[in-house]
Amino acid sequence: MGAERVGILAVQGAFAEHERMLSELGVECIELRQASDLHKGFDRLVLPGGESTAQGRMLRELGMLEPLRDMIEAGMPTFGTCAGLILMAERIDGINGDGSAVDSQHNATWLGTLPVTVRRNAYGRQLGSFRTRADFDDAGAIPMTFIRAPFVVETRDGCDVLARVDGNIVGVRWRNQIGTSFHPELDEDARVHRMFLSL
Ligand code: GLN
């Protein structure tokens, strides 16, 4: 592989953990904190976990939302985890994991580049965070850490399902985009990041 650089969105959330994992794989990373960082030159994009509403608002205020959407739509390989998956989703489902309706502010879509519907905080309060192992694509079982995670309730346009836990979709791939409900950057298993680097 040539000297590739990964741009990691670093306005909020768990970006340092992605940076650590990608650095261990020998990949150079740059942090994207403001609109001018988008001109620094990178070949791939990571959208980390965190708080999707806060991230989305900041991206809008910083003038980063439209340029990032353009990059993804132009084919830049993109990997979103948890809140990152929510930012990518074309639609947000109207029901929280505890059965309550999400309010309209939280129902906002952001980048909208991935043809899926996600349910935010889909596991509700009881099961807010948990770890498990499940099959990921043809890689076999991998560790999966969920933190107030969404899951995908519908895929469209030939979006591939990469993983399910208890029947719920927790990993998807569509063209240049991978999204996971869980946080592979918090475990030592680098297979999901390797898949991202091979997109
Ligand atoms: N619950 C968060 C949200 O809705 C996502 C949690 C995470 O990224 N770990 O944005």
The 10s digit of each residue's pLDDT in 116-155 is 999 998 987 666 799 999 999 999 999 999 999 999 999 9
pLDDT at res. 105: 59
The CATH architecture that domain 5-198 belongs to is 3-Layer(aba) Sandwich (3.40)
Residue 96 has pLDDT above 80, yes or no: no
Q: How many CB atoms lie within 10 A of CB 91?
A: 16
pLDDT band at 101 (very low <50, low <70, confident <90, very high): confident
pLDDT tens per residue, range 29-48: 999 999 999 999 999 999 99
**CA gap 75, 54 in Å, rounded:** 25
**CA gap 102, 119 in Å, rounded:** 9
Distance 149 CA to ligand 1 centre (A): 6
Ligand 1 site, CB within 6 A: 49-52, 82-83, 86, 120-121, 147-149
What share of the chain has pLDDT > 70, as a percent?
A: 93
Distance 25 CA to ligand 1 centre (A): 26
Mean pLDDT value of segment 147-165: 97
Residue 106 has pLDDT above 90, yes or no: no
pLDDT band at 61 (very low <50, low <70, confident <90, very high): very high
Where do the H-state alpha helices sit in the chain? 15-24, 52-61, 65-73, 83-88, 191-197
This prediction has a pTM of 0.94
pLDDT at res. 19: 98
* Atom number in ligand 1 closest to CA 120: 4
Residue 3 has pLDDT above 90, yes or no: no
Residue 163 has pLDDT above 80, yes or no: yes
Residue 1 has pLDDT above 60, yes or no: no
Catalytic status, residue 29: no
Residue 24 has pLDDT above 70, yes or no: yes
What share of the chain has pLDDT > 90, as a percent?
A: 85
Mean pLDDT value of segment 160-174: 97
- Residue 150's Cβ-count burial label (10 Å; 0-12, 13-18, 19+) is buried
* Atom number in ligand 1 closest to CA 147: 9
Catalytic status, residue 185: yes
For the ranges 2-11, 47-56, 70-79, the lowest mean pLDDT is seen at 2-11
Distance 81 CA to ligand 1 centre (A): 9
Task: Report the residue among 148, 151, 170, 186 best suited for mutation to probe ligand 1: largest number of ligand atoms under 8 A from its CB.
Answer: 148
